[in-house]
Structure 1
Amino acid sequence: MRGNSGLIPSADMASWGHRTARFCARLLEYSFWMGLLLSTHGGWVLAEEPVPEKANKHQDAAIAESLFLQGRQAAEELRWEEACAKFEASLRLVRTLGSLANLAWCHENRGKSASAWAVYRDLLSAAHDKGDTKRENFALQRLQDLEPRLARIQIIVNHSPEGLQVRFGDQVLAEGAWNCAIPVDPGSLHLRAEAPGYISQDWTVEVPDGVRIIETEVPMLRRVVTPPVKARETEATKEVSTETGDDTLAYIFAATAVAGLGVGAYSGIMTLVKKAEGDELCTGRYCSEEGLEAHESSKRYANVATISIGAALLLGGGSVWLFASGSQDPARSASVSTNNGYYFQVGTVF
């Protein structure tokens, strides 16, 4: 308890000190166990979370080594094409100076001097970076030996429409390499020039072994010309459809006129027949019922004959007019277009 002076008695001070020490000890113990629990739980979490694995470098290295040895075996047996394929496959997996050196040597023995030259340059740079003086000197020596024997092609571009691309083999020649002599392997070289809106041009250049520089010029590309066929086709379609419609109507009129003439002729004959029957059944002013019916039938047939023949004449005249107006149309002509977009017409007026 506090005295009147407000100070804590010594006994109470000692008790308070013991309680404080026990509290701190328990706090430290609690912190220790919580830290241990969290660290253990965190370890479990890390163990359970999947860790993305990198590519199995050892397996790639084993496959690359196997391919390299197969390439060496093929090279010893002078099967250069197969050997080069094995060395290239090995390099795609693991890039080593030995594979580069053997691939370059393989290309050189195949007669692919430009390919060998390119790989030797790659080997020179890689060996220099790794401090391999032996392979660096080897690459430099082979480059100096190959340089005078390289075949080069100079692709001359005098006309370059927008978007022009020059391809040789399966590669696109960079614009900076136009009109420059670039190393190529001897043999047939397929080239192609293409640009949007132009007709592509293909050609082949034979590059002989031992030649220094061979030149080839990109041919001038011709524009793709689309003649205005659509408008002419639309007009022709309209003309043909109009002519076809007129002709069809004329045929319908003519057929109907013929039918009308047939009906008129039949009705005219029946008019005469019925009149004759009526005359036989009627004597003087007396006429039997059958005679009256025969005269009425004669009148009806006469009316049908008059209407039919009149309609037939009208329709016949209409068909003749339609046929005549269609045959006098000067637009019936044939047109032939040229590749340059021009066309001429050959017409006949009937």
Structure 2
Amino acid sequence: MTRCLRRIAPLALVLCSLAAAAPAAAQDSAAAEALFNQGLADMEAGRYEAGCKAIAESHRLEPKLGALFTLATCESRWGRIAAASAHFGEYLAQVEQLPPEQKSRQGDRPKVARQERDRLAPLVPELSLALPPGAPTGTVVKRDGGVVDGAALGASVPVEPGEHVVSTQAPGGSVWETRIQLAQGEKKRVELQVNGAEAAPAGGASGRRTAVYVAGGVGVAGLVLGGITGALTLGRKSIVEKHCGSGIGSSDETACDQIGLDAAESASATGLVSTIGFGVGLAGLGAAAVLYLTEPKQSDATAGATSSRIRAGVLAAGPGGVVLGARGAW
């Protein structure tokens, strides 16, 4: 009994698989027939684009010689002679593989297909695309949105008559595009162009030169800060003179009213900042001068390639103090 079950189990599995696949196949067959009938009606009504697409989908779902022959006929009427010629040739190749009794069922179709293929073949344009010598590895070539296989580059490929959009793009580069017009029967070879990789930003200053710019920028900013806060200090001192000592009728020069006290406190703070600012400014300019004077000389080409911009000054200011520094682009 066990041995019998072992023999039956694989067969049962196969039968179950076939049973599950049968409904799907039946659905595809029904859809293919409906698409074919719709496509045939569109073709006969002159709606070739819709008709050819429906027939092509029907043939994809259920490949049949009749659908393939009708697809080629539709494409020929639509003007897609390259596709029509190829499909007529495909139909004839498949017919040749049929047994004699099945071949005879095709009637006059093989004769018509052969005549149409031979008539269309001389009318089909051919396009050859070639990359320039030294094109970067990985350059992508596209024709009408589809990627052209590397093996097809340089070969004459049948295409439809009319306009074709061809583009190239190297890794890291921008797209180069051209439009090519082909008449019936025309053969054309096109040498493509390839844009190089996007240029890297111009080489900046050396690390030492960058330090010169930074130190100089901070030095200038320090002097600017010292000047601004120094002017503020002088302004506060005039207020102190008016609101302290004899300015308020007091013999005690340290006696001040509230305005004088506030001005004195503010003058003390801005005076300190001014002193620090001038100190930082002089130190920064001195360091920049030393770095610049001791820097190794650059070649003219390198110096010309350097493009730096520095803006120094007070970057932020508020009641609690100010921030000095430099902004630049290299």
Whole-Å separation in 1 of the counterparts to 2:196 and 2:182: 27
* Secondary structure class of the residue paired with 2:31: helix
Instruction: State the Cα deviation string for residues 243-279 of structure 1 (Å, max 9, x = none).
Output: 68523454334323422342245324248x334xxxx
* Secondary structure class of the residue paired with 2:180: strand
* Equivalent position to 1:70, from 31, 38, 62: 38
Whole-Å separation in 1 of the counterparts to 2:145 and 2:96: 31
TM-superposed CA distance for 1:70, in Å, is: 1.7
TM-superposed CA distance for 1:97, in Å, is: 0.5
* Equivalent position to 1:251, from 228, 231, 237: 228
Contact 1:128 1:136 in 2 (8 A): no
TM-superposed CA distance for 1:300, in Å, is: 3.7
Following superposition of structure 1 onto structure 2, how do residues 1-350 of structure 1 map, counting pairs within 5 Å?
35=1, 53-54=20-21, 56-131=24-99, 132=103, 134=106, 135-159=109-133, 160-208=135-183, 210-228=184-202, 238=214, 242=218, 246=222, 247-248=224-225, 250-270=227-247, 273-275=249-251, 298=252, 300-301=254-255, 342=305, 344=307
> Which letter does structure 2 place at the counterpart of 1:53?
A
Runs of 5+ unmatched residues, structure 1: 1-34, 276-297, 332-340
Which structure would you say has the larger Rg?
A: 1
* Secondary structure class of the residue paired with 2:51: helix
> Which letter does structure 1 place at the counterpart of 2:177?
D
> Which letter does structure 2 place at the counterpart of 1:101?
F
TM-superposed CA distance for 1:342, in Å, is: 4.7
Contact 1:250 1:318 in 2 (8 A): no
* Secondary structure class of the residue paired with 1:104: helix
TM-superposed CA distance for 1:163, in Å, is: 0.7
Count of residues paired in the alignment = 272
Whole-Å separation in 1 of the counterparts to 2:81 and 2:274: 89
Whole-Å separation in 1 of the counterparts to 2:276 and 2:235: 13
* Secondary structure class of the residue paired with 2:147: strand
Contact 1:257 1:315 in 2 (8 A): no
Whole-Å separation in 1 of the counterparts to 2:220 and 2:61: 73
Give the alignment's TM-score, normalised by structure 2. Answer: 0.65
* Secondary structure class of the residue paired with 1:224: coil
Question: Among the aligned pairs, what percent are the same residue?
Answer: 20
Ranked by relative contact order (alpha carbons within 8 Å, sequence separation 6 or more), the top structure is 2
The Cα RMSD (Å) is 4.5
Whole-Å separation in 1 of the counterparts to 2:308 and 2:204: 16
Contact 1:165 1:193 in 2 (8 A): yes
Whole-Å separation in 1 of the counterparts to 2:272 and 2:79: 93
TM-superposed CA distance for 1:314, in Å, is: 8.1
TM-superposed CA distance for 1:146, in Å, is: 1.6
Contact 1:250 1:322 in 2 (8 A): no
Give the alignment's TM-score, normalised by structure 1. Answer: 0.62
